[in-house]
Structure 1
């Protein structure tokens, strides 16, 4: 098999074998949670255990007393809830689905690379330990949980208990099929439903302690449309940790798994969702309609599936916490501990992300459109920049990079083939045109909405959509690089042309780190000494690359202006959106008498950004500033810092701390930001190839 830093193409063998015989092979799936037979509960026993759970009984009695409902009716409700929730693993169903999924995978993807070395280590560990395992993959596509199950089945490992949303439960036939592959279903919101909350808690504790299969859930909660890490959700993680706190299991190992798609199946849908166009409702009909992606073989390129080092929960939940639980049964794990584990998992996700040529191609093309739109890349000039940046990100930043074989430094033909091969799955987005220049293709073909009121943001003009759709499309491929670039990129936005004092640069870095910590999922740090160590590490990288240089106590831009420009420009949309939202919030009472809600500020921010894109050379020139993801993360960050606060008397109404907003606006204005000479608006349509026929896409 073709290998790559421990990665093996698992589809290579599948293309040689008969799918039916492979899926129905004799197998004894490896069960990762080693338990005595009497401690392993089947589905019926799990359901019975949940219904007899003391906390569930207390909830039933409490609701009966407060509402007057009959206990028998509440018990029937509880049984219906747990039956709706519980998984129903069935190997025969997995086998039959395996045949279909194998055929689909071989059609859609050229290769699926699995880090077989790390997977082998995981298999060995599960055979000698008696701890529970929790698989925590990144969430970049609906395909993620199918892919993980497919890989486990391929390597004779038992499928886990998979946390799934009710959207899948409501899909005819598909919902029950997924249940038989291990899915258990969770309602999205149930904080006000005491009975459901206790049943869910008891079910999770029971499968952690009494299932011999692992558990799988997505820490980020929902798919990352931007294709970079998003803030973790702590609810399910904290419930899983309760079993360790109570001593039901000796330890829990979280297994971070990073999934990198050369082209995610929902690529264009993600772009429209980020612009506010609602996603199609999940349904069986929609699923079968989506099978049209199988028409073009290998249309989605490669996948890299990387497995991180296990993270032991016992390192975070020490004996002192467990003793407190014994003395005080109501004791809960401190939120800081849950957050530490969550950030450790996300940091592993980012470190183990595998970059591919399309990520560098998108980054360089985006930069060229902004700084020199009248001189597009030729293939020869692009090869030079591609080789340089690939070397920088893999050697200086230690990023994992797609590479099927070592390419000698001077072998332009091999680099050329790597670039051209990587563009094949993206021929609807990026191409070398007839004159051999690199161009962005127009992907927006018009939208016919059944109901404009469903649009989540401001209803953007057709002209804006024509510019924004392809620009945000390539941003999706830029974003994975930010796992490695973000912190050094912060620094480039703090340095003035004539030099900046180290103390000033550090203060600016600290401010940006705090304001953009939600956007890039950076662990909050209050200790200034620790932040300085982090800053110095990033500074040393930039100094070694001649991107910056020190003169006495001043930090100045260095001779490597190309790297400085790339890092600086890639950070501008995030800072710009932050500034626009802070300004809108500060001026809110003067602009309108409307009550301040998150929905209204989102609409007004997108409206303001669209206006700025066409009117000036200042803030928000990049179309990525229109992405609703940026508004949501900015809003979340301002809430967490107490700059925006929930109104004490009115639900869903907010108020602001104008003094803090004034300080932020002033600090952001003082940043020495350099605006690129070109924009997507100026370059349109010269940098964007228009389709020959203008058809409409119906969403």
Structure 2
């Protein structure tokens, strides 16, 4: 996509208009599901349809038979469940909320850029199609679903049926307000509740087939605290795809939407959550307390809202599947089909991510801290590095960076950098000597109940170093959407060169181990892996980051690019090694049963020790991330390296032979340790000042 193409600042017009007149304007919201009137169900009719559903009725009678409870009592329970769940659209409520949300958006954000070209194309398509639409945004903030609804309302499009968690349902007043904007509520876990499961399945089937509004849900399930894609959750997606087999809709189009925040509202909270400090419980009081972020105008910079190409479910759910459903009504869509659809949506999310200047600035600052910790990072030096790296990531890797004008000379680049730092003046600033510094964002937290800590209880010294470092890493992570493959490559090449076959094997290993972390579709076909590898190699060869000498691949003259890519992937590899080592030594070191909780605590404890006491593995504070441990654990489970106990829930054992092999291969990787560490550089890079957290922890 060309720079600037299709993006419009939707707040520009709002700043000229009267909010009340705009929100109460005459409108006939565009309904994206063009159904004949007799096929459209209102809320009451959907509830009735769910309660009469054959599988719901069967579940009611099964429960009555096995428990001895009266059928009418179970039916009453079923009605309460569906009433708790079902959305209730109300345009008047949307209008009044629109006034408040407009004022908040204009205060918090300098601009909200929407890809208006793609949105207009979507509007045109929905006016001539009878298919159902499912909006699938990225999930980077609680603000995501409010933002999407706000955009749809602004462009006279009907608000969708929005999947929401029970945390919001339990918020006084707010829960019902959200329901009236389209929210339907889902319990976090209900796999053991037969009645709820069947009611939920039937409700989704009904809104897919009989609601004239689209559906919205977050494929990732929960917010990405790391600000990059996370592994998809398949449950709701599978039920939506199952609905296609019923034959009531000709197709379902999934609309991927990528939301990029210059500064997410929960920025500091994400940092603490990554370290194991639990998030505050959602409450109406907490919501009003969070409105303090409105004190400083434009404090959260810009948002970019990009819309991907529609993904047709019929391309995955073919005629064979539909015929099998007719012959065998209990037929379920194969999990491989659900996974394929999910990965296609995630790939669209990645492709349409718009990077911000702060993402590049954070990456370059992280590199400077580790490689030249004693050299001041001046605006002149940063400008030079910024220009170079921005050119690489946008031209060679085709990453999207939206610009309002072409930037050519150093003065304009300096201005872009300084403008980008304004929303981040609580984290990164230039000191009086024009040197880039980090601010100390952490202050001592008094936790009355340490049992709420999700990991190891980290020392105050560790927290002082880790909080600003991980805050920086959160802004680096979006770049990994585009850098991952090239970064893997740099961890496979030795100083004196590596044979082509060895480099390819190492790349395959890292891609497999980190596929969960970077949500990369597993590839078993060696030819496809080699094609990806060769494409990545050619990029690095063209940048003089590598060169070929006979059958060897060697580091090239562009050592700066090699170093940036290598150092950014290092924490992810280090964490895998440390967790594998802990798992291998588990029985010898402890008699405790192996659970996901215990390994998480022990891993964070060991990483803290390595970071403070050694110069070996896990020197970067991001290695303390609980998110990293969770994705590593899931990956090891998927490979059969960690094995669930057949009889005891949440108890695991390990395959020692596979672990030994993996540890040995990881030790043989040609990893280069940076000359500096955050621990050593901390006094030099921190500009101490009074800090205030955005929310009470």
TM-score range (shorter-chain normalised) is over 0.9
Cα offset, 1:169, TM superposition: 0.0
- Distance in 2, Cα, partners of 1:271 & 1:552: 46
Provide the residue aligned with 1:249 in structure 2: 249
- Distance in 1, Cα, partners of 2:695 & 2:121: 47
SS in 1 for 2:46: helix
- Using structure 2 for the length normalisation, give the TM-score: 0.99
Provide the residue aligned with 2:35 in structure 1: 35
Please give the residue correspondences for 1:27-106 in structure 2 after superposition, counting only pairs within 5 Å: 27-106=27-106
Provide the residue aligned with 2:402 in structure 1: 402
SS in 1 for 2:426: coil
Cα offset, 1:191, TM superposition: 0.2
- Distance in 1, Cα, partners of 2:695 & 2:279: 13
1:162–1:216 CA contact under 8 A, matched in 2? yes
SS in 1 for 2:516: helix
Matched, 1:426 2:432: no
Provide the residue aligned with 1:150 in structure 2: 150
Cα offset, 1:125, TM superposition: 0.3
Which sections of structure 1, spanning at least 5 residues, go unmatched?
none
Provide the residue aligned with 1:225 in structure 2: 225
Please give the residue correspondences for 1:560-575 in structure 2 after superposition, counting only pairs within 5 Å: 560-575=558-573
- Distance in 2, Cα, partners of 1:381 & 1:454: 44
Cα offset, 1:376, TM superposition: 2.4
- Distance in 1, Cα, partners of 2:388 & 2:150: 37
Please give the residue correspondences for 1:473-552 in structure 2 after superposition, counting only pairs within 5 Å: 473-552=471-550
- Distance in 2, Cα, partners of 1:160 & 1:116: 19
Cα offset, 1:375, TM superposition: 0.4
Cα offset, 1:402, TM superposition: 2.9
1:490–1:571 CA contact under 8 A, matched in 2? yes
1:445–1:696 CA contact under 8 A, matched in 2? no
Provide the residue aligned with 2:269 in structure 1: 269
Count of paired positions: 695
Cα offset, 1:450, TM superposition: 2.2
- Using structure 1 for the length normalisation, give the TM-score: 0.99
> 1:643/1:76 Cα in 2 relative to 1: closer, same or farther (>3 Å)?
same
Cα offset, 1:525, TM superposition: 0.6
- Distance in 2, Cα, partners of 1:598 & 1:222: 19
- Distance in 2, Cα, partners of 1:103 & 1:698: 25
Provide the residue aligned with 1:596 in structure 2: 594
2:10–2:114 CA contact under 8 A, matched in 1? yes
| Deviation beyond 3 Å, 4+ runs, structure 1 | 692-698
Provide the residue aligned with 2:463 in structure 1: 465
> 1:253/1:551 Cα in 2 relative to 1: closer, same or farther (>3 Å)?
same
Provide the residue aligned with 1:351 in structure 2: 351
Which sections of structure 2, spanning at least 5 residues, go unmatched?
none
- Distance in 1, Cα, partners of 2:271 & 2:404: 29
Provide the residue aligned with 2:131 in structure 1: 131
2:260–2:355 CA contact under 8 A, matched in 1? yes
SS in 2 for 1:114: strand
Which of 662, 665, 683 aligns to 1:664? It is 662
- Distance in 1, Cα, partners of 2:240 & 2:38: 22
2:269–2:695 CA contact under 8 A, matched in 1? no
- Distance in 1, Cα, partners of 2:695 & 2:636: 36
Provide the residue aligned with 2:651 in structure 1: 653
- Distance in 2, Cα, partners of 1:539 & 1:4: 30
2:141–2:266 CA contact under 8 A, matched in 1? yes
Deviations 1:397-456 (A, max 9, x none): 000013111112xx1111111000000000000011100011111110111112111000
Provide the residue aligned with 2:441 in structure 1: 443
1:445–1:697 CA contact under 8 A, matched in 2? no
- Distance in 2, Cα, partners of 1:646 & 1:585: 14
- Distance in 1, Cα, partners of 2:293 & 2:482: 31
Cα offset, 1:694, TM superposition: 9.4
- Distance in 2, Cα, partners of 1:696 & 1:167: 20
SS in 2 for 1:517: coil
Please give the residue correspondences for 1:193-342 in structure 2 after superposition, counting only pairs within 5 Å: 193-342=193-342
Provide the residue aligned with 1:682 in structure 2: 680
SS in 2 for 1:431: strand
Deviations 1:183-205 (A, max 9, x none): 00000000000000000000000
Cα offset, 1:698, TM superposition: 4.6
